[in-house]
Chain A
């Protein structure tokens, strides 16, 4: 079983729509969680950390469910510029594990 798993998508949504997707992790002792964004053929960049209580950054909301071992990302009012692949990252004992990514395509 992979340490971090994501639905690869693609999620095709119209502008203005809400899109949400999850990432599951296998190690219950995982300590830190993040979402990175990767544009096509570019390097990943940190989008946001995920905190136990859930957190928002503008149109983006991240949640952590430790009991079910998943994190989620919700994008409200989608923009064309949100089209990207979103990578889930989990840290345990200073070891980072990356998911393969969920691709989101926002259409006009």
Chain B
């Protein structure tokens, strides 16, 4: 079984709809992240959480919100979806142990299309 899972894997929605993307992990990591990936732009950080009580905005948090329900679960919501939120969304965890080096472990991604 995958260590980091995302649901749904694909989603088509309409402008103005609220949707939630869910992420679960079995790696036991405290740190979790949400990224979006657009062609030519690389991965951009939306939100991150260093533990259950810690939520931080990333570089492109406008239009998004998150919830860290448990160490293993981190959900991303689009309150009112718009077409430019069409992208590939990745959840990730990391094995941070106090130094500047950390490995990110990504989920399989959610392809979102906003019409």
Are the CB atoms of A100 and B107 closer together than 8 Å? no
Chain A 72-95 near chain B by CB (<8 Å), digits 1 or 0? 000000000000000101011010
Q: Does B101 sit within 8 A of A, measured CB to CB?
A: yes
Chain B contacts of A91 at CB under 8 A? 100-102
In the complex, A33→B109 CA distance in Å? 23
Q: Does A16 sit within 8 A of B, measured CB to CB?
A: no
Are the CB atoms of A43 and B108 closer together than 8 Å? yes
Are the CB atoms of A46 and B108 closer together than 8 Å? no
- Tell me the smallest distance from the CB of A75 to a CB of chain B, in Å: 20
Q: A96-B45, A99-B42, A101-B42 are in contact. Are A43 and B100 (CB under 8 A)?
A: no
Closest residue of chain A to B90 (Cβ to Cβ) is A43
Instruction: Please classify how large the interface on chain B is, using the bins under 10, 10 to 19, 20 to 34, 35 or more.
Output: 10 to 19
In the complex, A87→B35 CA distance in Å? 14
Are the CB atoms of B42 and A98 closer together than 8 Å? yes
Among A4, A43, A100, the residue within 8 A (CB) of B106 is A43
Are the CB atoms of B43 and A44 closer together than 8 Å? yes
Q: Does A49 sit within 8 A of B, measured CB to CB?
A: yes
Are the CB atoms of A8 and B90 closer together than 8 Å? no
Instruction: Please classify how large the interface on chain A is, using the bins under 10, 10 to 19, 20 to 34, 35 or more.
Output: 20 to 34
Are the CB atoms of B40 and A44 closer together than 8 Å? no
Chain A contacts of B103 at CB under 8 A? 34, 46
Are the CB atoms of B101 and A43 closer together than 8 Å? no
Q: A32-B100, A94-B100 are in contact. Are A43 and B107 (CB under 8 A)?
A: yes
4 further A-B contacts with Cβ under 8 Å, apart from A32-B100, A43-B106, are: A43-B90, A43-B107, A44-B104, A46-B103
Closest 6 pairs (CB-CB, A-B): A43-B106, A100-B42, A31-B100, A98-B43, A98-B42, A32-B100
Interface positions of A (Cβ within 8 A of B): 4, 8, 31-32, 34, 36, 41-46, 49, 87, 89, 91-92, 94, 96, 98-101
Write 16 A-B pairs (CB below 8 A) sorted by A numbering: A32-B100, A32-B102, A34-B103, A36-B104, A43-B108, A43-B109, A44-B104, A46-B103, A87-B42, A87-B43, A89-B104, A94-B100, A96-B104, A98-B42, A100-B41, A100-B42
